[in-house]
Structure 1
């Protein structure tokens, strides 16, 4: 059951199909800061709306001076013509993806909100799953995304890529898109404001949430170990995700401390001599620095030859690699159940 909020967002558009579609989308979103009221007639809105309006979102074609009698704390015009007809009013483009409309509305709200995002009182434990190998070109990212997509079919799941070059064009943001570096900038914000910032930066593939990886891998090198740990703890404190899948690399300070946070670590390798030598050296370094506990929860895998991977990320839930991952997740689930007994 959703936590009740005394803050109201009123949405008004005479284009009934658009209003209904937008409300259906918003109602599916977790932890919005408003109770939602929808109108397709301005006079009904003025006559019936008795609550204090935190945010009024109204289509440009129906906005008029009477609306001001409602005294909303924030007024947003859904722009239809692309012309800014009124001053001192915030405009959001109506004809874009619903997800983008929501991100912009949250951004507007966040600038002045005193009380931030409510959340579900789930007491949910977040399970971090690490993916790291010193061996290159071992299909680590394909493996991690496949696992993320399969988990997301039944569990709230977040995928985070920390590689210097993510290597998957669908995940890499263009230069205008917020990425993980932008979210880290807000690390010291209070928890609920961080929640809202994160919501504005989230992207989705099917049921999977992800934050776009850093556009410039060099930025990874500048983040301290303490900042990475604080970042992951902050995500854990949100209690929104059952699983957070970490696609890790040496480009991070504090890699071993992050691996130590994980309930399970998957290390993919190969069978050739160089791969074995790299893995041995990695394990020796862990032991040298007293991180042997990471080895205790590490599962080493040599993948069979995968003949073909789907081109679309959403299709990674089917095929040879998916079958292997599903078996591993059954093992993980059994181990988690045993640990809870």
Structure 2
């Protein structure tokens, strides 16, 4: 059952735009309703209890009189007084930024989700290769972007040194390290995950681990289980994972994927690495992982200029054309919209 998130602000355009963003962009079990009149909000709440109220700055007594537990203030001051910090959110930031703060505050008031995301399990699409410098990361990022034109997509990068923050030119308050920490502590749930997801172009992403060592704190078996939970609980239709070094126990992580793309190269050293990996699969895999794997030979990526438009160059260049042809071929679990 979807609960109500009431958005109140005296600026009707602001209130409506924020409500529209929540309803159209966010995968949350809330229906956002916009109000620019306190009287209309009070009348509405008499018959429709709200789970959360986002309210422009009003006298505290007036907001307390609404009788709603989760009231968060949309503050016009970027820096709020310490005593208000727990319930104040800077209103002139991106919609995704506002919702990350809303969900973080909601988590504090409610340790376990009282609401469920009634969604299908996402298709998990892994990109892995035992071969170096094969275009794996460029392919994974392009795959996510192309899928993002038709589906809601969550992108994850599990490499030790991904360089992703340089590509998106952003700094992150939370990243995969925080997700892993929650999982190890037994506190992971979809609600807390939403506080760690960022938007980029047409996709959402979890920022890569800030320290490569953090990836060693969780076993491949645990990472496989976490991947399954994200697929089931996150609300996204596709999860694209750029897999780094899997190490021992790689089968558990690879088996968590529904589709595995494996870029390969034709030089002798690359072929030797591929043969060793296939020997490992022959011993460790019961056949399920090999059935999911698809070897691909990627086009060479030719980029012009600086990294600012790296994503667009991938999407509309040779790599983007390659991915669109690949998905257009109707490979299992890829391009068909099964929702």
Distance 1:130 1:32 in 2: 25
Distance 1:212 1:170 in 2: 11
Asked if residue 145 in structure 1 is aligned to residue 141 in structure 2, the reply is: yes
Asked if residue 45 in structure 1 is aligned to residue 79 in structure 2, the reply is: no
Q: Find the counterpart in structure 1 of residue 74 from structure 2.
A: 78
Q: Find the counterpart in structure 2 of residue 106 from structure 1.
A: 103
- Conserved? CA contact 2:121–2:232, under 8 Å: no
How large is the Cα RMSD of the aligned pairs?
3.0
Q: 1:85 to 1:231 in 2, by over 3 A?
A: closer
Deviation per CA, 1:141-176, whole angstroms, max 9, x where unpaired?
0011111111121122222111111123235863x5
Once the two structures are TM-superposed, the CA of residue 212 in structure 1 deviates from its matched residue by 0.8
Distance 1:17 1:231 in 2: 40
Once the two structures are TM-superposed, the CA of residue 79 in structure 1 deviates from its matched residue by 1.5
Q: Match for 1:129 among 118, 125, 133?
A: 125
Q: Find the counterpart in structure 1 of residue 173 from structure 2.
A: 177
Q: Match for 2:10 among 6, 9, 14?
A: 14
Distance 2:142 2:328 in 1: 15
- Conserved? CA contact 1:31–1:118, under 8 Å: no
What's the TM-score, normalizing by structure 2? Answer: 0.85
Distance 2:277 2:82 in 1: 63
Which stretch has the larger CA shift, 124-133 or 78-87?
A: 78-87
- Conserved? CA contact 2:6–2:33, under 8 Å: yes
Paired residues, number = 330
Q: Find the counterpart in structure 1 of residue 212 from structure 2.
A: 217
Q: Find the counterpart in structure 1 of residue 201 from structure 2.
A: 206
- Conserved? CA contact 1:11–1:56, under 8 Å: yes
Once the two structures are TM-superposed, the CA of residue 231 in structure 1 deviates from its matched residue by 0.3
Q: Match for 1:95 among 92, 101, 116?
A: 92
Unaligned runs of 5+ in 2: none
Distance 2:220 2:91 in 1: 42
Q: 1:31 to 1:264 in 2, by over 3 A?
A: closer
What's the TM-score, normalizing by structure 1? Answer: 0.84
- Conserved? CA contact 1:163–1:251, under 8 Å: no
Matches of residues 268-279 of structure 1 in structure 2 within 5 Å?
268-279=263-274
SS at match of 2:167: coil
Q: 1:331 to 1:42 in 2, by over 3 A?
A: same
Distance 2:236 2:44 in 1: 38
Q: 1:86 to 1:49 in 2, by over 3 A?
A: farther
SS at match of 2:331: helix
Once the two structures are TM-superposed, the CA of residue 44 in structure 1 deviates from its matched residue by 3.5
Q: 1:87 to 1:205 in 2, by over 3 A?
A: closer
Distance 2:334 2:73 in 1: 49
Q: 1:173 to 1:189 in 2, by over 3 A?
A: farther
Q: Find the counterpart in structure 1 of residue 314 from structure 2.
A: 316
Which structure would you say has the larger Rg? 1
SS at match of 2:301: coil
Unaligned runs of 5+ in 1: none
